[in-house]
């Protein structure tokens, strides 16, 4: 019968006997745990020697003797010789020192588990009857998939840890396009401060007692000012809560994530940022539009439409090798287009309006810069929409069009 224990090796002496490939696989784990490692082996395999050199690990180039393991907290033996490993295990038993016998795990007093970590939750998997590493690996993989899916109950029951804030990029909207880290942090959250756009469906997975604070903005309507959002994040974290600030797209792409990070740091609140797929790339992709394409566009200029048309934007619009992506620009677009045309940007420059990307309401209106204002008004283009200007927006660029990104136009919509 095996009892699983969580043992801290930080600052404790671990003797590793043998210098082969098994040792090379185990050393990084001992290093991550902060163990004081010593290696005893006549020779080292190249991969082991590299780890030893990179981390300045003490190495005694000699056959192992009983005195080498005296006083160790843990011994790991993997010499490749069963008799030597058995002798090391016997010495450890006599000294009441735990020993992992990698040549025959069933006969060591300790075993290495297959580990899966989700934040501060650590799950170890091992076999209680004999050694079956393939089965252990399969079971561990299933546990990891469960934890990474965000469906495991990862929230703390006791509020013993300090609060923290995680700025999480929710991507373009579909929950399955979020990162694994984003899903895990949301599963751990006590409070979610959510935008109007992004992966809102993930909120339906939360426990009923998770506090959800809606702070979403719409064009011209900011019901919760940014300073108040900052204050909410800081206050909840100072109360010992794990706070997720769930944003559409990426927190650092026109998401004011930098301001929220600054507010947390100034308040002494731990904060991390988890990237998400920005709508500047993912929404055009949903419509079959690559923002770069060999021989067509070699760079991308991402603009905030609410900031007006600056000289750098005019330069990108005039360059037929640059794709200009306009976010939050539906209302400002007619004026921006008129200004660009007055500065000599060709009227036949292709334009695509992609509304509600990655949703069942997605719609694409393709036109040109000279006609875009009229065509967008006729089609009733509205937010949320991403506007793509450049040759990549041509309807004939990628053939055949993907069925999932081909959308029937509404009445009066530009072809």
Greater confidence (306 vs 320) lies with: 320
Token pair, residue 122, equals: 């650590």
At residue 405, the pLDDT reads 41
Give yes or no: residues 288 and 394 share one domain: yes
CB distance 156 to 242 below 8 Å: yes
Q: Do both 122 and 30 map to the same domain?
A: no
Strand partners, 243: 165, 191
Q: How confident is the model at residue 411, as a pLDDT?
A: 37
CATH number of the CATH domain containing 39: 3.40.50.720
In a domain? residue 200? yes
Q: Are 244 and 269 contained in the same domain?
A: yes
| Boundaries of domain holding 141 | 113-148
- Same domain for 288 and 260: no
Task: Based on the fold, state whether residues 286 and 237 are members of the same structural domain.
Answer: no
Look at residue 131 in the predicted model and tell me its pLDDT.
Answer: 62
How would DSSP label each residue in 32-62? HTT-EEEEE-S---HHHHHHHHHHT--EE-S
State whether 62 and 76 are in the same domain: yes
- Bigger pLDDT: 140 vs 162: 162
- Assess whether 137 and 199 both reside in one domain: no
In the residue annotation, 241 being an active-site residue is answered as: no
**Is 141 a residue whose pLDDT tops 90?**
no
Q: How far is CA 400 from CA 168, 291, 350, 357, 374, in A?
A: 35, 18, 19, 20, 28
Residue from 85, 190, 195, 375 carrying the catalytic annotation: 195
Is residue 102 packed enough to be buried (19+ CB in 10 Å), middle (13-18) or exposed (0-12)?
buried
Residues 102, 132, single domain; the answer is no
Q: Looking at residue 219, what is its pLDDT?
A: 55
On whether residue 415 sits in a domain, the answer given is no
Residue 138 or residue 342, greater confidence = 342
Q: What is the pLDDT of residues 78-108, one digit of tens each?
A: 999 999 999 999 999 999 999 999 876 556 7
- Is residue 158 domain-resident? no
Tell me: do 99 and 174 sit in the same domain: no
* Residue 114 reports pLDDT greater than 50: yes
Give the residue-averaged pLDDT of 144-173.
Answer: 77
- Are 87 and 140 in a shared domain? no
Reduced to 3 states (helix: H, G, I; strand: E, B; else coil), residue 196 is coil
- Statement to judge: residues 171 and 99 lie in one domain: no
* Percentage with pLDDT > 90 across the chain: 59
Q: How many structural domains does the chain have?
A: 4
Average pLDDT, the chain: 86
Q: Read off the pLDDT of residues 169-226 as tens digits, 9 standing for 90 and up.
A: 999 988 889 998 999 899 889 999 998 777 788 888 888 889 999 987 655 556 789 9
Position 351 in a domain:
yes
pLDDT in the model for residue 243: 97
Q: Which of 132, 217, 319, 391 is catalytic?
A: 217
- What are the b/e assignments for 221-256, b being 16+ CB within 10 Å? eeeeeeeebbebbbebbeeebbbbbbbbbbbbbbbb
State the average pLDDT over residues 234-258.
94
pLDDT one-digit tens code per residue, 16-59: 999 998 999 899 989 988 999 999 999 999 999 999 999 999 99
Kindly tell me if the per-residue pLDDT of 138 is higher than 90.
no
Q: Give the model confidence (pLDDT) of 311-349 as tens digits.
A: 778 888 989 999 999 998 999 999 999 999 999 999 999
Distance CA 89, CA 70 (A): 12
CA distance 2 to 231: 49
pLDDT of residue 319: 92
244: domain CATH number? 3.40.1010.10
Q: Is the pLDDT of residue 402 over 50?
A: no
């Amino acid at each position: 019968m095996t009892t699983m224990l969580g043992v801290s090796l930080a600052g404790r002496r671990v003797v590793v006997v043998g210098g082969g490939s098994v040792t090379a696989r185990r050393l990084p784990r001992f290093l991550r745990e902060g163990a004081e490692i010593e290696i005893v082996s006549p020779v080292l395999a190249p991969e082991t020697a590299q780890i030893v050199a990179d981390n300045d690990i003490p190495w005694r180039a000699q056959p192992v003797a009983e005195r080498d393991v005296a006083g160790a907290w843990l011994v790991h033996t993997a010499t490749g010789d069963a008799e030597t490993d058995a002798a090391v295990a016997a010495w450890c038993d006599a000294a009441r020192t735990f020993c992992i016998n990698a040549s025959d795990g069933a006969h060591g007093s300790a075993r290495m588990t297959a580990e899966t970590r989700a934040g501060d939750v650590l799950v170890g998997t091992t076999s209680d009857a004999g050694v079956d590493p393939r089965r252990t690996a399969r079971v561990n993989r299933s546990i990891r998939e469960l934890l990474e899916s965000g469906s495991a109950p990862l929230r703390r029951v006791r509020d013993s840890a300090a609060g923290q804030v995680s700025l999480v990029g929710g991507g373009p909207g579909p929950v399955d396009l979020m990162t694994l880290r984003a899903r895990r942090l949301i599963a751990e959250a006590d409070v979610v401060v959510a935008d109007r756009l992004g992966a809102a469906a993930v909120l339906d997975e939360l426990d009923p007692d998770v506090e959800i604070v809606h702070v979403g903005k719409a064009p011209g309507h900011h019901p919760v000012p940014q300073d108040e959002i900052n204050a909410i994040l800081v206050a909840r974290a100072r109360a010992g809560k794990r706070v997720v600030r769930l944003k559409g797209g990426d927190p650092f792409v026109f998401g004011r994530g930098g301001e929220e990070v600054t507010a947390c740091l100034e308040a002494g609140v731990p904060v991390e940022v988890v990237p998400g797929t920005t709508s500047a790339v993912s929404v055009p992709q949903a419509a079959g539009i690559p923002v770069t394409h060999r021989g067509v566009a070699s760079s991308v200029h991402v603009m905030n439409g609410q900031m007006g048309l600056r000289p750098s934007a005019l330069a990108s619009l005039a360059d037929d090798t640059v794709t200009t992506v306009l976010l939050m620009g539906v209302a400002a677009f007619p004026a921006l287009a008129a200004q660009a045309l007055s500065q000599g940007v060709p009227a036949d420059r292709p334009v695509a309006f992609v509304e509600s990307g990655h949703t069942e309401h997605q719609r694409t209106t393709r036109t040109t810069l000279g006609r875009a204002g009229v065509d967008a008004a006729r089609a009733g283009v509205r937010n949320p929409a991403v506007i793509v200007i450049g040759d990549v927006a041509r309807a004939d660029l990628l053939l055949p069009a993907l069925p999932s990104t081909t959308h029937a136009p509404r009445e009066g919509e530009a072809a």
